[in-house]
Structure 1
Amino acid sequence: MNRKFNICTGLKYIFAACLLSCALVSGAHASVSSIIIDAETGDVLSSSNADSLRYPASLTKLMTLYITFNALDKGLIKFEDKLPVSRNAANRSPSKLGLKKGETITVRDAVLALIVKSANDCATVLAEGLGYSEENFAKTMTEVAQELGMKNTTFKNASGLPNRAQKTTARDMALLGAAMYHHFPEYYKLFATKKFTYNGRTYYTHNHLLKSFEGADGMKTGFTNAAGYNIVTSAERDGHRVIAVTMGHNTIRQRDTKVASLMKKGLQKLAMSDHIEAPNLYANADTHTYGEPSLIEAATVADEAPASDVWAVQIGAFSNYAKARNYAISVKKQLKMAGAEIDIEPAQKGSAVIYRSKLVGFEKNEADKTCNSLKKSNKSCIVIASSENQQLVMAKNN
């Protein structure tokens, strides 16, 4: 992902003006807040109470991790560095690893403990290691939030433990999630970690979407009595990525059901708006189609038949190159076709340019099988004979 992504302009709808006078609401007594955005463009796909002030709970740790990743990226710290555990860190209330004063923990273990276990003691260890004191670190957290456009967010500690002055909104948290994804793609992958072992004990993620929602790969959950159940999460399907936030639920089940629904609808919306189905593209393209040839035509076809490995499966067309390529990558991964190559072909469609997404390098029978497999998973495709006369054969259903 391009580091030059301009978070302040790319997420053009995230920075909509918020009502600064809105009351801070608690999870048990207020309407739920939610938002889902296109991670690539920042377009808001849907939202509800997205600007209501909320207690972030452990979503706070996303900013702690963002600053930690920035320090790692700049070489200020290393994953192998050992950080001391202070009395303040050791005395943090659960959730925690149970670190003791005077012990040390590596940056890597502290980061994984935040992601998987949501360990409050490790949040304080990182804060003190980077900011000398947790109070000083929290000021930096708020400053970074403002720089990212999180205008309604104030942090008071590194963990999200209760503090009446610590507040945020669903919209601001979506912005932080997008910044995390775009600015630190190599570290973002850590959010997909499902379990973490420390001192012989294995901890499992609180993010159930990693197991239950296809394409989900992070980020963070949170809970306090005042905040309710919160989550920031992201998922990618068919070349589209969304970031979803929902806050203030009364139960884990309600939270997970809501965010899964948000992501499903958001991904469907992106697929409908950007993906031109392959059969429709075929009908509109300047390409000759044929069914059963006549005897004379059959001889010509036989003479001009393509080599055995120059068949392609066209899987769709998109409004830009990146989405066409990302979709091809996801399909290739889905079908486990390491040998297939990706070909993105620009084509004129009226006054616009579209990008045909293709997998190439098949023998004819392999191309047919591939297309049929895609159709079984409700994906459209066509088989293309890549000969000089550019004949196009529609793949048949089983």
Structure 2
Amino acid sequence: MRQILARIAHRAVSSAKSTLAVAIAATALIVAPAHANPKYAAIVVDANTGKTLFSSSADEARFPASLTKMMTLYLTFEALESGRIKKSSKVLFSKNAANEPPTKLGVKAGGSVTVETAIYSLVTKSANDASTALAEMLGGSEAEFARMMTTKARQLGMTGTIFRNANGLPNPAQHSTARDMATLGIALREHFPQYYDYFSTRSFQYGKQRLANHNRLLGRIKGVDGIKTGYTRASGFNLVSSVSDGNRRIVAVVMGGKSGKSRDDHMAELIRTYLPKASTRRGGNDLVASAAGETRKSPIKALAALLPTKNAPKPKAAPRVEDEEVAFATADNVPAANVQEEEGSAEPEVPFAYAEPIPARMADIDPIKTAAVPKSGWAIQVASSPSEVEARAFLTRTNRQAGDLLASASPFTETFEKGGVTYYRARFGGFDSKNAAWNTCNALKRKKIDCYAVQQ
């Protein structure tokens, strides 16, 4: 009898050890990417309660890549809901929009598509030109629209996000977090249920082309109804997924995947593991406070009234000597050659070795030779930024756009202090007279490059 009981006990212990080993292995499978990949971040949020079911580096700064277009679409849906635009409204493509690198629709400057076509192109093909065209339509310029995007992010409770363009093309100052992207994903469904079905579009017809959605989990994983993929070399492979199963609903984010397949496989594992753990009961209020600024209680703490107002960008005119403002690195200000992102195209040759949060080496980032700060004469300022990397990016972009006008000028950066923060001026020096500097600046403005002349 004792021998029988001993055998039973031994089997029970062995079974418990086996179960524990399986559990540990499953957990290791989920969290392993955090140790192997410094770009990795992930989160799973219960979209009924706001509870975080899984988190790894969820509040660390990451490059959003084309996840940025989620906010572009949020503002587009907001404009549709308010009646400012219609689905049939024409979206005009400027030269700036038409010149965006692929992936894109390929609309020529002066051409147009409807708002609805632009929406479809963003959710499927992740078209950069359509993103910029929408930004210019809604904000007047992409730089202004980027300010609107960041302000909206603050209203939604996305405190770790700064936008600098509408499409997610590489920019060292544009960053977000996995948690913020989950918040935005939840907000899109809660605030615009009438437009949310766009995200589940598998493909759509544009002219003679049928454009397929880059989100390969649509149709592969039961319950997945969106939302967005993204890729740049700096960001790695990103994905935000919304999933529902009966009354359960989650939003999951994976950022920094080493490949599209590994990212998709990891997302699938997160969904299989955590969707069954989500609540079947939904609270009475939205999880994310509406962008209009209501202060309803939220498990994600999306209370616009409690956010520090100094972090909310205030749109201003071009930089002036008397009131120097930090310039935004938009698609107009960052080198556009060979920077495209999005899986389905060849891996881009990004001209800057961006790193977040540790700055990359200047030798990797600054392909333009900068000079010593001139002690006299006149200079033209094209930007200022709290990031030296960003200031040098402005110099590089300006030189590429207008090298003929600046052939005799010397690019340089210099620092100044404001509000206890060190900023970097991006300037071209070597002008021997006020008229020479002013005339060159006016020529730059005709190329749509903001600038002003200043005496050293």
Fold agreement, TM-score > 0.5: yes
Aligned sequence identity (%)? 49
What CA distance in whole angstroms lies between the structure 1 residues aligned with 2:203 and 2:76? 20
Residue 205 of structure 1 is aligned with which of 210, 213, 222? 213
Post-superposition offset of 1:47: 0.6
| Residue-by-residue CA offset, 1:210-243 (whole Å, 9 max, x unaligned) | 1210010010000000000000111111211110
Q: Is the 8 A contact 2:48 2:283 kept in 1?
A: no
The root-mean-square deviation of aligned C-alpha atoms, in Å, is 1.9
Find the counterpart in structure 2 of residue 261 from structure 1: 269
Say whether residues 1:166 and 2:177 are aligned partners: no
SS in 2 for 1:266: helix
Q: Is the 8 A contact 1:219 1:233 kept in 2?
A: yes
What CA distance in whole angstroms lies between the structure 2 residues aligned with 1:321 and 1:63? 25
Q: Is the 8 A contact 2:227 2:241 kept in 1?
A: yes
What CA distance in whole angstroms lies between the structure 2 residues aligned with 1:321 and 1:34? 24
Residue 247 of structure 1 is aligned with which of 255, 273, 282? 255
Say whether residues 1:35 and 2:19 are aligned partners: no
Residue 92 of structure 2 is aligned with which of 84, 88, 113? 84
User: TM-score, normalising length from structure 1?
Assistant: 0.61
User: TM-score, normalising length from structure 2?
Assistant: 0.53
What CA distance in whole angstroms lies between the structure 2 residues aligned with 1:133 and 1:126? 9
What CA distance in whole angstroms lies between the structure 1 residues aligned with 2:112 and 2:35? 36
Q: Is the 8 A contact 1:34 1:170 kept in 2?
A: yes
Q: What is the 5 A alignment of 1:38-187?
A: 38-187=46-195
Say if 1:40 and 1:321 are closer, same or farther in 2 by CA, change over 3 A. closer
Say if 1:64 and 1:171 are closer, same or farther in 2 by CA, change over 3 A. same
Q: Is the 8 A contact 2:42 2:253 kept in 1?
A: yes
What CA distance in whole angstroms lies between the structure 1 residues aligned with 2:49 and 2:203? 31
SS in 2 for 1:186: coil
Residue 204 of structure 2 is aligned with which of 196, 203, 209? 196
What CA distance in whole angstroms lies between the structure 2 residues aligned with 1:128 and 1:61? 14
Say if 1:155 and 1:238 are closer, same or farther in 2 by CA, change over 3 A. same
What CA distance in whole angstroms lies between the structure 2 residues aligned with 1:148 and 1:258? 27
Say if 1:56 and 1:187 are closer, same or farther in 2 by CA, change over 3 A. same
Say if 1:259 and 1:320 are closer, same or farther in 2 by CA, change over 3 A. closer
What CA distance in whole angstroms lies between the structure 1 residues aligned with 2:162 and 2:40? 20
SS in 2 for 1:117: coil
Q: Is the 8 A contact 1:82 1:104 kept in 2?
A: yes
Say if 1:166 and 1:269 are closer, same or farther in 2 by CA, change over 3 A. same
Give the aligned residue type for 2:246. D
Find the counterpart in structure 1 of residue 233 from structure 2: 225
Give the aligned residue type for 1:217. D
Say if 1:41 and 1:106 are closer, same or farther in 2 by CA, change over 3 A. same
What CA distance in whole angstroms lies between the structure 1 residues aligned with 2:183 and 2:282? 24
What CA distance in whole angstroms lies between the structure 2 residues aligned with 1:42 and 1:268? 15
| Residue-by-residue CA offset, 1:358-396 (whole Å, 9 max, x unaligned) | xxxxxxxxxxxxxxxxxxxxxxxxxxxxxxxxxxxxxxx
What CA distance in whole angstroms lies between the structure 1 residues aligned with 2:282 and 2:136? 45
What CA distance in whole angstroms lies between the structure 1 residues aligned with 2:146 and 2:215? 25
Q: What is the 5 A alignment of 1:263-278?
A: 263-270=271-278
Say if 1:166 and 1:28 are closer, same or farther in 2 by CA, change over 3 A. farther
Q: How many residue pairs align between the two structures?
A: 251
SS in 1 for 2:219: helix
Say if 1:28 and 1:142 are closer, same or farther in 2 by CA, change over 3 A. farther
Find the counterpart in structure 1 of residue 14 from structure 2: none
Post-superposition offset of 1:83: 1.4
Say if 1:40 and 1:200 are closer, same or farther in 2 by CA, change over 3 A. same
What CA distance in whole angstroms lies between the structure 1 residues aligned with 2:198 and 2:40? 28
What CA distance in whole angstroms lies between the structure 1 residues aligned with 2:36 and 2:116? 35
Say if 1:57 and 1:113 are closer, same or farther in 2 by CA, change over 3 A. same
Post-superposition offset of 1:269: 1.1
Find the counterpart in structure 2 of residue 237 from structure 1: 245
Post-superposition offset of 1:73: 0.5
Say if 1:88 and 1:171 are closer, same or farther in 2 by CA, change over 3 A. same
What CA distance in whole angstroms lies between the structure 2 residues aligned with 1:194 and 1:201? 14
Q: Is the 8 A contact 2:39 2:235 kept in 1?
A: no
Find the counterpart in structure 2 of residue 282 from structure 1: none
